[in-house]
Amino acid sequence: MKIVAIHIAPGRKIPTRSVTSVEADAGKGLVGDRYHGTRHRHVTIQSREMLDLAAADLGRPIDAGATRRNLTVDTGTIPTRPGSRLRIGAVELEVVRIAAPCRLLDDWIGSGAARAMSQRGGSVCRVLTSGLIEVGSAVTVPAA
């Protein structure tokens, strides 16, 4: 599994912007993102494979940035069980909860998008260790 897209947004209703790298700040989140400094919602991560399944159900492509998730991996299923860990280079993430799709997806992507994304939205994670996350970085899920 590897990172294929990184998106950040400085504010709530401001469109996300694609970047090639981002600094993860332990205990705070992604530098430059709207959730940097929040208590638990530091970073969101989703799978392109799951987005493609949702797009097939929806009948139109889904841009990774339109979901407002921060990190997109190329393939696989993102762990959703709280306490699960993921490692991206030096950065360790801990799953806080499943990332439920927001009803605003219907406005941003099209009618039915939130339903198509159900159970495919990835996870909300906390940043445990600082480091640089780059497009192309390998993502590993350590054994529990």
Structural Rg of the chain based on CA atoms: 14
Q: What is the dihedral of CA 130, 131, 135, 136, to 10 degrees?
A: -110
Q: What is the pLDDT of residue 106?
A: 57
Within a 13 Å sphere around the CA of 118, how many CA atoms are in the beta-carbon half?
7
pTM: 0.87
Which residues of the chain fall below pLDDT 50? none
Q: What is the pLDDT of residue 77?
A: 85
Q: What is the pLDDT of residue 96?
A: 95
**Contact criterion met (CB below 8 Å) for 51 and 60:** no
Q: What is the pLDDT of residue 64?
A: 82
- Ordered by start, the domain boundaries in the chain are 3-140
Q: What is the pLDDT of residue 63?
A: 78
Q: In 3D, which of 70, 21, 19, 16 has the Cα closest to residue 41?
A: 70
Per CATH, the homologous superfamily of domain 3-140 is: PK beta-barrel domain-like (2.40.33.20)
